[in-house]
Copies of this chain bind each other. A is one copy, B any other.
Amino acid sequence: MTPTIGGVETSPIPVAGSDGTQQTGRQATALRRTLHERGLRMTPQRQLVLDAVRALGHATPEQVCTQVQREAPAVNITTIYRSLDLLERLGLVRHTHLGHGAPNYSVHEHEHVHLVCHGCGTVTEVTPDVMSGLTERLATEAGFALDVTHVALSGHCRACRDRDDR
């Protein structure tokens, strides 16, 4: 029988592809274990949300929802919010505020700092070590332990600076 989610037919939940691009197999096991360690349950929705964040790089809950619904149209936006929240508490994803107000989720693998261009909205990533000097200064001068990855830095990217004649 065709599997369903929320009473609506969906594609089978992907499990280990033979083409090498399907990444759900081994990682699904990892997610399951992480959940079970805390007495939580593995569900297709949670896997789909994690996969979506992974596929999109960084995305708003809205964008994650759209991505998930390509696979499973019946998944509700509520579940997206709840899953993102859960995955974040599990340390698997992380959110930053890229200005405006839309929170932005990304997988918590390689730590990075977000640079958001005010001109074109592009998000660039740089390694956290550009912040090292600042981190130390804030620690000594203000006693402040900087969380390098949580909030993005705003400014203008090279392209927009050129376009704006400066």
Contact = CB atoms under 8 A, between A and B. Distances in A.
- One complex includes copies of this chain to the number of 2
Mostly, the A contact residues are: mixed
B101 A126 contact: no
B115 A151 contact: no
Interface in A112-129: 115-118, 124, 126
Interface stretch (A13-21, A28-36, A69-77, A156-164): A156-164
Interface residues of A, number: 34
Given A97-B100, A115-B144, A144-B155, 9 more contacts: A124-B142, A126-B138, A130-B141, A133-B133, A142-B158, A143-B161, A147-B156, A151-B151, A151-B152
